[in-house]
Amino acid sequence: RAEVIINGSSSPLVLERSSESIKHQDGPTPTQWRHNQTLALKIRKHILKFLDAEKDISVLKGTLKPGDIIHYVFDRDSTMNVSQNLYALLPRTSPLKGKHFRTCAIVGNSGILLNSGCGEEIDAHSFVIRCNLAPVQEYSRDVGTKMDLVTMNPSVIQRAFEDLVNDTWREKLLQRLHSLNGSILWIPAFMAKGGKERVEWVNELILKNHINVRTAYPSLRLLHAVRGYWLTNKVYIKRPTTGLLMYTLATRFCNRIYLYGFWPFPRDQDQNPVKYHYYDTLKYGYMSQTSPHTMPLEFKALKALHQQGALKLTVGACD
Ligand code: CDP
């Protein structure tokens, strides 16, 4: 039984309250979801004790200079030098400085989105966060097209763009980057040494091709801080996924948070098969065998927060 303890002490809120279905969009008796503003504000306050999304969303120009040495967060013995290109792309001020949005959508990449018809609903939110350069055009009916912040783990360059082995893949990545069209591109560049070249390739493409994005590179402390917050609340994650990181950051600047595409299970609630990603053929085995993530555990925590009205999780079709 997991608990979320707000303000560290007196008011433990039981996370796992019942096995109540979160099937609120369809089905015979949909659960009535109501936003719990008091709880959302408490969570924001509590998370602020661990991290400040405004600051931790990106390292700023003023704090680094070219040539500085950085130890990777997960590979402490390996280092990187801050390149001229990376330095050029560091923001001067936080891309979230003073930002407040009425509603935010965080779009995970689960195949549960296919045939959801959620595109229009997602696009109606004030701020839309997407993960790992996921394609949208071909899936717009189900996932929408609006994007204000897009994440990019360096491994995506290998997984989705064949490590840019030839011009075709390079062109494909260029097009995807162009399609970001002014949004924030969030690249965890300091996490693992494996991403070194990939981050540099992307930085170079952005600069050479004058791509219209606002780059952001999360702080060195962000991951541990996010993990710390969830561990304190008895959610024993190993390494937070991109989706959970985004939710944790979003609590700072979004009044209401709506999650779509979060479903780390191979079957839906009616036992129909669900693709791991809505857009590729990656398998669930990838997640359980090689990934340090604990997605089902995260999902359980998010579901409990949904049941308490702190966020809204959509795992069915939209109206
Ligand atoms: O960066 P990561 O590999 O964690 O993410 P991804 O596979 O690109 O998907 C983005 C986010 O969607 C994940 O971090 C999860 O939070 C969520 N997701 C999910 O809940 N269920 C899935 N089957 C796939 C992704």
- Position 31 pLDDT exceeds 70: no
294 CB within 6 A, ligand 1: no
Q: What's the pTM value of the predicted model, to 2 decimals?
A: 0.92
Residue 237 CA to residue 231 CA, distance in Å, equals 7
113 CB within 6 A, ligand 1: no
- Position 1 pLDDT exceeds 60: no
Mean pLDDT within 209-215: 98
Quickly state the pLDDT bin for 183 (edges 50, 70, 90).
very high
Residue 131 CA to residue 276 CA, distance in Å, equals 14
- Position 53 pLDDT exceeds 80: yes
278 CB within 6 A, ligand 1: no
Distance 110 CA to ligand 1 centre (A): 6
Query: Is 309 in contact with 36 (CB distance < 8 Å)?
Result: yes
Quickly state the pLDDT bin for 114 (edges 50, 70, 90).
very high
Look up residue 308 and give its DSSP letter. T
More confident residue, 310 or 21: 310
Distance 67 CA to ligand 1 centre (A): 33
Q: Answer yes or no: 293 catalytic.
A: yes
What pLDDT does residue 30 have?
58
Distance 171 CA to ligand 1 centre (A): 25
- Position 310 pLDDT exceeds 80: yes
pLDDT tens digit sequence for 241-250: 999 999 999 9
pLDDT tens digit sequence for 125-162: 999 999 999 999 999 999 999 999 999 999 999 999 99
Q: Measuring CA to CA, which residue among 132, 133, 154, 131 is closest to residue 75?
A: 154
Mean pLDDT within 255-265: 97
Q: Compute the mean pLDDT over every residue in the chain, rounded to the nearest whole number.
A: 91
Residue 58 CA to residue 7 CA, distance in Å, equals 26
Read off the amino acid at residue 52: D
116 CB within 6 A, ligand 1: no
264 CB within 6 A, ligand 1: yes
Read off the amino acid at residue 65: K
Residue whose CA is at the smallest distance from ligand 1 atom 5: 242
Please identify which residue in the block is written with the tokens 């950085």: 70
Q: Which residue of the set 46, 277, 293, 306 is catalytic?
A: 293
Distance 9 CA to ligand 1 centre (A): 31
- Between 10-19, 60-69, 241-250, the lowest mean confidence (pLDDT) is in 10-19
SS3 content of the chain, % helix, strand, coil (to 5): 35, 15, 50
What pLDDT does residue 22 have?
53
Mean pLDDT within 76-84: 96
295 CB within 6 A, ligand 1: yes
- Position 23 pLDDT exceeds 80: no
